[in-house]
Amino acid sequence: MADRIDDMGFDIKANHGHVPVLRNRVTELLAPAVLALGDRAVVVDGTLGAGGHSEHFLRTFPEAKIIGVDRDPAALSDAQERLAPFGDRFTGLLSRFDGIGEAIAEGSEDVFELARTNGIAGALFDLGVSSMQLDQVERGFAYRTDAPLDMRMDPTTGITAAEVLNTYDHGNLARILKTYGDERFAGKIASAILREREKEAFTTSGRLVELLYAAIPAATRRTGGHPAKRTFQALRIEVNAELEALENVLPIIAETLSVGGRAVFMSYQSLEDRIVKSAFVEMTKSTTPPGLPMDLPGTAPRFSTVTRGAEKATEAETAENPRAAPVRVRAIEKLPDPEEVRL
């Protein structure tokens, strides 16, 4: 089959058959900040994956430099190979995305020096598991195929999903299923896991899916989507400490953005979106006591929201890319310091 090339020269086959979610919209959101800095612009792609968003940024912003961050060594290697034609305009970083602050502070490459000097013009975080990882059966992210229960985004380190199932006590299993998966039957599922692991340790996703079919009532299975969806989400979040990384990176990005710089966060489930929304509320509010006619020195907000609430994908985007259906997009911009403006 011939490679498919879209109107921006984007090689769909090279991107594992996937068009990045809301590629054009997130580029539009970042454009004012990136174009304003010209050849001083640095954009952080905090969730590099197959490199689709980064490739689009490099094509759209011909003067900008990109730092692509991924904790998955295989994904980073593939993306670096794909983006090699852009030369030193692209720099790959093997790290969880909340490591970007340390990398900018200590990195020796020119792009990190540029970011230290000018701040970053833009940042994108396309949260959750990537389509590429879902498609790699051996990683264990997908519940529709029997595979080893791994789920680590960095397969070289950390606890696996199987180890969570085989070692966590009832309380902790129920907690992560309820908190990270919004699973109504968290306690019942945790009890079933403990009973089954006494017979034999969990090693593959197929056995877990069978357990979930048995534990979740038939009426709920008929109306609530795939019975494994919430448990698999909860395990993945626990294994990869996804919410911890998100909470950590928000203040890091706020600190490292240039004046006028923008950050875009794409969430696919309510836990992520609530964390981003809450942080944005705090970042955009004045701390001046109520009733005063103007902000007191040092109390004016340093950020403004760019999106009105959370933007959703259009019907056309969802039709082209079904993974976009649950996405919620929020963007923020760093404002000038009022004290510096007055000076």
Binding residues for S-adenosyl-L-methionine: 51-53, 70, 97, 126, 133
Tokens 């068009």 -> residue: 19
- The contacts of residue 64 (CB under 8 Å, 6+ apart) are 34, 37, 39, 41, 42, 43, 57, 58, 89, 121
CA 337 remoteness from chain centre:
29
- Separation CA 247–CA 249 (nearest Å): 6
Residue at 201: amino acid letter:
A
Binding residue numbers: 51-53, 70, 97, 126, 133
Name beta bridge partners: 123: 44, 263
> Is 265 in a helix, a strand, or coil?
strand
Which residues of 191-302 form beta strands (DSSP E)? 257-267
Let me know: does 122 contact 264? Beta carbons within 8 Å: yes
